[in-house]
Chains A and B, each alone.
Chain A
Amino acid sequence: MRAKQLCVLVAMSAALWAPRVSAHHSFAAEYDANKPVTLKGTVSKVEWTNPHARFYVDVKDDKGAVTTWNFELASPNVLRRNGWTRTSLNIGDEVTVEGARAKDGSTMANARVVKLADGRRVFAGSSGGDAPPPAN
């Protein structure tokens, strides 16, 4: 594929990917859609709170060192309207999370897709309230 066409595709993907209207703040001011992250680890905390639901994942590196990542979701109301509940994700769940990293480089990200170890999707959708229905 020619480089120019690739650039266009990347630009289109970014436009489709990034929820331009976040919950109560600009998505692009906090997260970088061009810094995707995919992280695997264990859920250590779930906060079913406003303005955003959040969950924390302990991620081990190759040497066994653990880093805790903070993932932002939509508001609980938006998630509930899309079929998710405060028990959709629980402490101890093994998850793989795809998201966009915080612009300030902290270990924080906006979660786009959350998959359990058995392949089920739990949350899929970030602050834009664009979560598709559960895949069950």
Chain B
Amino acid sequence: MKPTSLLTLPLVLAVGALVVVSAQQTPPAPTSPAGAGSGQRGPAAPTGPVKRLPNGKVDLSGVWQGGGPVGDIKMGLAKGEALPIKPEWQKIMDARQSKDDPEANCLPTGVPRRDPYPWRILQTDTHTFLLFEGNIHSYRQIFMDGRKHPADFDPSWYGHSVGHWEGDTLVVDTVGFNDKFWFDFIGTPHTEQLHTVERYTRTNLGTLVIETTIDDPGAYTRPFKITFTARLRPGEELMEYICNENNGFVHHITGPAKEF
């Protein structure tokens, strides 16, 4: 590579990375027009101290943006770490076509994938709910009453989740997934053996760090961790989003998922 290229390549990569990171992990710049309501370009996330519920636990409530992989789950790995995918599953992933992405077909993202839509955490004494505006307009329920996973279940998109607190971190253990969803746009796979442990830590009022351990001996040689950060969208409310309303153009999506 010539010196000029060496000088300019990092700049191009940095610009590209900035676009991706800003789209996935931070709220857009505060430029809401009058009458638009707060939202997509609402105020910046606050940085004050976290609040607590009457029971002393950290209040995780609010409308959040991001917090999981969108384009490529590898963005959540530690620096320099490679995805420990088994070669046979790498082949399956490489053959996947973008048009077959369940999310593009208005099916759920599963865990830990996120999308560009806001979502809300709602805590009760017995459950924690994650309410998703988009893709799909659905929810996850996390049992907080100390129960265990059932011995038998039908594999599902969001699995069976039980939660408990470790200090100020909410730990969510989930099993019972189906193998239908992808981890990201590029088709990173998993099997029904998937077991996730998510650790939700609200590091300040506007920041929620979500560290997820992915354990799937079906598709990976070892467990691995990913970390993504969700940002609070102050003043935001979820809106209705019914993906299936008019999704008649998926056939225009072309090419391998890995080239997203």
Which of B24, B36, B244, B247 sits near A83, CB closer than 8 Å?
A: B36
Taking a contact as CB atoms under 8 Å apart, the answer to whether B245 and A49 are in contact is yes
Taking a contact as CB atoms under 8 Å apart, the answer to whether B252 and A30 are in contact is yes
Which of B37, B42, B240, B260 sits near A28, CB closer than 8 Å?
A: B260
Known: A15-B16, A30-B253, A102-B252. A23 touches B185 (CB 8 A): no
Which of A15, A83, A130 sits near B15, CB closer than 8 Å?
A: A15
Taking a contact as CB atoms under 8 Å apart, the answer to whether B12 and A11 are in contact is yes
B112: A residues at CB distance < 8 A:
none
Known: A29-B253, A50-B246, A133-B33. A21 touches B39 (CB 8 A): no
A5: B residues at CB distance < 8 A:
4, 8
Taking a contact as CB atoms under 8 Å apart, the answer to whether B106 and A103 are in contact is no
- Contact flags (1/0) for B14-47 with A, using CB distance below 8 Å? 0110011001100010011111111111100000
Taking a contact as CB atoms under 8 Å apart, the answer to whether A29 and B259 are in contact is yes
- Contact flags (1/0) for A51-90 with B, using CB distance below 8 Å? 1101000000000000000101001011011110000000
Taking a contact as CB atoms under 8 Å apart, the answer to whether A24 and B8 are in contact is no
B98: A residues at CB distance < 8 A:
25-26, 29-30
Is there a chain A Cβ closer than 8 Å to B243's Cβ? yes
Number of A-B contacts (CB under 8 A): 154
Taking a contact as CB atoms under 8 Å apart, the answer to whether B254 and A77 are in contact is no
Taking a contact as CB atoms under 8 Å apart, the answer to whether A83 and B20 are in contact is no
Interface centre among B20, B70, B246 (most CB of A within 10 A): B246
Known: A49-B246, A82-B41, A133-B32. A24 touches B23 (CB 8 A): no
Is there a chain B Cβ closer than 8 Å to A8's Cβ? yes
Q: By the criterion of a CB under 8 Å from any partner CB, how many residues of chain A are at the interface?
A: 46
Which of B12, B116, B254 sits near A29, CB closer than 8 Å?
A: B254
Taking a contact as CB atoms under 8 Å apart, the answer to whether B134 and A133 are in contact is no
Q: Which of A11-36 contact B (CB under 8 A)?
A: 11-12, 15-16, 18-26, 28-30
Known: A25-B185, A26-B185, A72-B249. A133 touches B36 (CB 8 A): yes
Query: Roughly how many angstroms separate A106 CA and B8 CA in the complex, as a whole number?
Result: 35
Query: Roughly how many angstroms separate A47 CA and B34 CA in the complex, as a whole number?
Result: 24
Query: Roughly how many angstroms separate A22 CA and B250 CA in the complex, as a whole number?
Result: 13
Is there a chain B Cβ closer than 8 Å to A128's Cβ? yes
A-B contact pairs, 20 of them (CB 8 A): A4-B4, A8-B11, A12-B12, A18-B19, A21-B23, A21-B116, A25-B185, A26-B98, A28-B259, A29-B185, A30-B252, A30-B253, A51-B135, A77-B240, A80-B36, A81-B36, A81-B39, A83-B36, A128-B116, A132-B31
List the interface of chain B (C-beta within 8 A of A).
Answer: 2, 4-5, 8, 11-12, 15-16, 19-20, 23-24, 28, 31-42, 70-71, 98-99, 101, 103-104, 106, 115-117, 133-135, 185, 239-247, 249-250, 252-255, 257, 259-260
Extra contacts, 18 of them, besides A20-B16, A133-B32 (Cβ < 8 A), are A4-B4, A19-B23, A21-B70, A24-B103, A25-B101, A26-B98, A28-B260, A29-B98, A29-B104, A29-B255, A50-B245, A50-B247, A51-B247, A52-B249, A78-B40, A82-B36, A129-B28, A129-B116
